[in-house]
């Protein structure tokens, strides 16, 4: 399996992923308690689906008991532009980087399926692929596999490519050599916490979605709380402030797939044209 693992990583990089690591489905025992605390605090807001199927969401080993390995993949969508530059242009709207072009679900899933087919051809076994489409705790699994660590803003951070990455997974019945988990390298940095316009972080590593601009402009149904409206500024779909200021982004390289680069009409749309 050592040879297979090396070839798997090589194939994943050839597909366009920036990293490929492996862990076991049961390598994230802390997830269930963290999820329970998150839900108990009400931080999920109107995202009721986060409270559903918690027996899977908190325990990926239960999602598919036959799986012996989880292959975690990261795909960069790092922008070529400064995501914060548009915040001063009050006649323009700001759209989150991930939504400035093609739907990442389609792009990542196609690559995952090709990689999964390659794995079956090489070694057999059964596979299931996921990209934000099932109750899979991708970020904790990403840390367990060594892709990176969950930063104080809750997103996965890597010493190699910063925090601009989509995550996908291939569950397989094959037992593939596992990687060592990544450790936290945030240190005393508070950049992501301090820049948040709405104070959506009750504490480091905790996110209250009810105050998060990404949630308020995408998931929230109904009017935004009066106390928060003025803090949204010209952000009309999502928010990248906490991601953009992470110092580990100095290692990020702009996404190699041009389908992640901003379409001109979505980079800074005129607000008057959207009214």
* Residue 132 annotated to the active site: yes
Give Dmax over CA atoms of the chain in angstroms: 58
- Spatial distance between the Cα atoms of 165 and 7, rounded to a whole number of angstroms: 22
H helical segments located in 124-190: 138-145
Burial class (CB in 10 A: 0-12, 13-18, 19+), 68: middle
Under 8 Å between Cβ of 84 and 251: no
User: What's the CA gap between 47 and 70, in Å, rounded?
Assistant: 26
Pairing state between β 165-172 and 94-95: unpaired
Tracing tokens 């995202």 back to the chain, one arrives at 47
Question: Of 132, 208, 225, 241, which one is the catalytic site residue?
Answer: 132
Pairing between strand 149-150 and 156-157? antiparallel
Do the beta carbons of residue 29 and residue 57 sit within 8 Å?
A: no
Region of residue 169 (phi > 0: left; psi between -120 and 50: alpha; otherwise: beta): beta
- Residue 172's alpha-carbon distances to 7, 9, 56, 95, 177, in angstroms, are 16, 15, 16, 36, 12
Q: What residues are labeled active site?
A: 132
């Amino acid at each position: 399996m050592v040879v297979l693992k090396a070839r798997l990583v090589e194939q994943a990089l050839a597909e366009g992923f920036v990293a490929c690591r492996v862990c076991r489905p049961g390598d994230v025992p802390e997830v269930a308690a963290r999820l329970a605390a998150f839900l108990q605090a009400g931080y999920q807001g109107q995202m009721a689906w986060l409270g559903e199927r918690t027996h899977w969401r908190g325990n990926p080993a239960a999602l598919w008991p036959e799986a012996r390995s989880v292959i975690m993949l990261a795909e960069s969508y790092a922008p070529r532009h400064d995501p914060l530059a548009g915040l001063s242009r009050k006649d323009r709207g700001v759209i989150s980087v991930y939504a400035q072009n093609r739907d990442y679900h389609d792009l990542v899933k196609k690559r995952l399926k090709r990689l999964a087919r390659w794995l079956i051809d090489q070694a057999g076994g059964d596979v299931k692929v996921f990209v934000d489409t099932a109750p899979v705790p991708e970020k904790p699994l990403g840390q367990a596999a060594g892709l990176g660590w969950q930063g104080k803003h809750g997103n996965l951070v890597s010493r190699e490519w910063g925090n601009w990455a989509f995550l996908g997974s291939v569950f397989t019945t094959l037992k593939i050599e596992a990687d060592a988990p990544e450790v936290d390298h945030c240190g005393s940095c508070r950049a992501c916490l301090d820049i948040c316009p709405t104070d959506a972080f009750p504490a480091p590593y905790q996110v209250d979605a009810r105050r998060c601009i990404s949630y308020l402009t995408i998931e929230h149904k109904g009017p935004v709380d009066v106390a928060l409206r003025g803090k949204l500024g010209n952000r009309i779909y999502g928010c990248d402030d906490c991601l953009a200021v992470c110092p580990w982004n100095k290692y990020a390289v702009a996404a190699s797939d041009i389908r992640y680069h901003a379409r001109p009409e979505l980079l800074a749309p005129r607000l008057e044209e959207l009214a």
